[in-house]
Structure formats: structure tokens, C-alpha cells
Chain A
Amino acid sequence: MISIKNLLVQRNGRDALKVETLDISKGETLAVVGPNGAGKSTFLLALAHLLKATKGEVMLHGKSQRDWNDLEYRRRIAFVFQDPLLMDMSVRENIALGLKFRNVEKKEANERIYQWAKAMGVEALLERRANQLSGGEAQRVSLARAFVLDPELLLMDEPFSAVDPQTREKLLDDLSRVLAENQRTTVFVTHNLKEAAQFGDRVAVIIGNELKQVGRPQQVKESPVDSSVGVFLRGL
């Protein structure tokens, strides 16, 4: 579904990410790991077309990002950031945001909102204001806001790092159930190798602004391509 070739992304004149080649197939979950500042978030932003490729190609369904209408491309995707970044409005309105952008009819929107609020366990909070939520609740709303769009590609940037460990466990359980039920193409960044192995069909290791290795979790762990990958994985 996604195909990357010789991608270079520069930010502020510096190389922020290099990916020689990578294919992500439909329904696959790809976990992205790597040290802080290695280029993981840049990778997600480039996939979302929120950062433009300096060189090379990111292709969706065989068509280069450059040839896609920007808005049409972005509307096939949903992005979940590390912080929930909810708007100052009710939970319902927050979950409705992307549907509103797409002019989804109100009745259908409300059904979908309820369905995903329920799946994320926040259906009782729908009329509450977003700034009254706990960190865990806010992140659940942020996930519901992405899932409700039924995106072809779901991108998540460390969605669990800002919540306490207990909430995190529960969130992970709920998310793995939802992901398993829906077979959605997902790319998520994590700091946790266990998490990567639990969710990821494959793991991508980004070190020093470069995609170093992609493979099944066990395989990457057992045979790292070079010492930097080996050292990083042992340290996790």
C-alpha cells in the first residue's frame, strides 16, 4: 500500500531522515523504534505528507505523494500525536472533528462517534469538556478521534508515553483488541520493544536519521544488521 524509495527528508537544512526502500502492505502493523531524535517522528510526518520529501518518493497505492491532491491524500490518513492535543470543546465535538472536515452527515457521524467512543471506553464522557479529562481519558479520546475516520493508514507517535503505567496497560489491551478486529494498516512509534513486538507484524529501527533495518521482531532482535542496531536493541 505504501512504498518508499530513496527518501530523503531535510528539516532546517539538515538531513532528518533517510529511507532507502520500504514497503508497507495493507493491514500490516509496523512498529518504529529508535533513540530520541533519531527521526522517528519525521518518518511519520513524511508518511502523513505533513513534511515533504526533499528527494525520493513516498507512494500510496502506487501513486507518488507529489501527484496526489494534498487534501485527498491526507484524508486517507489519521494521525495520533504523543500528546492528545484536544481542542477546547466537548469530547463529542473533538471526536467529530475529522468527520466535520469531511462533511460526514450528522446522523451517520453521531453513530460512528458513539461506536468509537464506546470502543475506547469514553462513551460516558461524550458531553464533558476536553480540558476536564485525565491524561488517560484524553488519549483515549484522541485515539477515538482517529479511529472514527476509518483511515486507510493510521499513524501514531508514541501514543502511550504520556500516560501512567496502569492506564497504559489498559489502553494497550483495548488498542490491541481494536487493531486485531479491524485489520487496519498502522504505523506507530514506540520506545518499548515489548510493545513493538506485541503489536508490530514488523519492526523498523531508525538510528541516526536513517532507517537501518526492518523485519519481524524476533528476527531483528536476533540478527541486527550492524552494531548500532544491536547496541540499541540490547539497551531497550
Chain B
Amino acid sequence: MSEIFEITTLSLQVSMLATVISLVIGLPFGTWLALGKFRGRSILLSIVNTGMALPPVVVGLVVAMTLWRSGPLGDLRLIYTPWAIVIAQTVISAPVVMGLTAAALEALDPRLQQQLLGLGASRPQMIWHLWHEARLPLLAALMAGFGSVISEVGASMMVGGNIRGQTRVLTTAIVLETSKGEFERALALSALLLIITYLINLALTWIQQKGARK
């Protein structure tokens, strides 16, 4: 039982941290993509949109090669640690948050920017109010970012190694139990993963709907 608790806690810690880092990277960068006027913007946007569909196994492979002892960041000795999973999951969810942030802001009336500036907003004030206006789709971006990492298994497996007591998370534990033929345990862990994902999204949806009425 305590092992399940441990696995669940690690899953949540790792995925939440990866989501928060993705938000810190994705929100400003997505905003810049949506509002900026520069050459190559649509190419950059299409790259980010492709990044939203990055296969976790591919991310896992690349991050594993980078963190491998002989790899470019091998000296950091991060491979097979929870930090390696956080890095891989951030690579997966940052483009999701970024792409959906850009889409949310592009869906706003473009004259809103001029209106805010025309009322004397500084640029940061303008961006803050555009975020406020797009708060519902932005929260959806956050949910999608979290959803893309709490449920992925390929990257966590490859860079974390599914080491008992160290890097085992819910999804990798499910894979292990299934491969051992322990379907009941696998099903129980799956149910746990679903319930946790549901509860977190319930909380975020509640915040989102509260924001809609505000």
C-alpha cells in the first residue's frame, strides 16, 4: 500500500512540476507567437503545433541520449532520476501549453489590443488583460499540458528506467504489472490514475467555470 502511495505521489510531483515549468515557458512564448509581428512567425507556429503531437517515445529517446553518461549532459548524472522524467515531460507538455496559448490569444478580436493601448495600457498591462480575456482557453491549455504528461509512459520509462522506489510512476508501474501478467494490480493502478486525473481536472474545471462567471 505504501508503495502505491509512493508511486502515486511521485507521479503527481513529477507531472505537476513539468506542467508548471511548461506554463512558465509556454505562456510567454505562446503570447509572443500570437501577438508578435515578425518574419518566420507562421513557420515557428507550425513547428510548435507539430511539437504538440510529439510522440513521447521519441522525446524519451532524445532526452535519454542527451542525459546518457556519454551524452552532452551526461555529467549532470540525471538519467534514471525523477529529474530526467521532469525534463522529458516538460519537452512534451511545453509545446502543448505554448500552441494552445497562441491559439487562445489569436482567437481574440485583434482590435482588443488597439483598444487597450488606446485607453493607455502599457504593453505588460495589455498582455495581462488579454490573458484575462482568454482565461478560459488558457486554463484549458494548462489542463491539456497536464493531461499530456500524467498519462504518458514512453518517455518516463526510457529516461526514468522504472526503478522501484526511485523513478517508478503510475504509468510505468501499469506497464510492468501488465507484462508480469498481474492484470488485477494493473487495473487497480489504472483506476487510480484515472481517478487522480479526473479529480485534478475537476478542480481546474471548477476554477475555470468560476472564472467564467466572474
Contact = CB atoms under 8 A, between A and B. Distances in A.
B125 A85 contact: no
Interface in A71-128: 71, 74-75, 77-79, 81, 83, 85, 87-89, 97-98, 101-102
Q: How large is the interface on B (under 10, 10 to 19, 20 to 34, 35 or more residues)?
A: 10 to 19
Contact of A87 (B117, B125, B133): B133
Contacts of B112: 85, 87
A149 B129 contact: no
Interface in B70-86: none
B115 interface: yes
Nearest to A77: B118
A120 to B, nearest CB: 16
B144 interface: no
Contacts of B114: 45, 50, 79, 81
B111 interface: yes
**Most chain-A Cβ atoms within 10 A of its Cβ — which of B109, B114, B119?**
B119
Contacts of A98: 119-121
Contact of B120 (A81, A88, A89, A149): A149
Dominant SS among interface residues on chain B: helix
Interface in A137-184: 145-146, 149, 155
Contacts, number: 56
**Most chain-A Cβ atoms within 10 A of its Cβ — which of B115, B120, B214?**
B120
A151 to B, nearest CB: 9
A48 interface: yes
Contacts of B116: 97
Contacts of A77: 118, 120
Contacts of B133: 87-88
A149 B214 CA distance: 25
Nearest to A102: B120
Contacts of B109: 85
B119 A145 contact: yes
Contacts of A71: 120, 122
Contact of B129 (A45, A83, A87): A87
A89 B121 CA distance: 17
Given A77-B118, A85-B112, 6 more contacts: A71-B122, A83-B111, A87-B112, A98-B121, A101-B121, A149-B119
21 contacts: A74-B117, A77-B118, A77-B120, A78-B118, A78-B119, A78-B120, A81-B111, A85-B109, A85-B111, A85-B112, A87-B112, A87-B132, A97-B119, A97-B121, A98-B120, A98-B121, A101-B121, A101-B122, A101-B125, A149-B119, A149-B120
Interface of B: 109, 111-112, 114-122, 125, 129, 132-133, 214
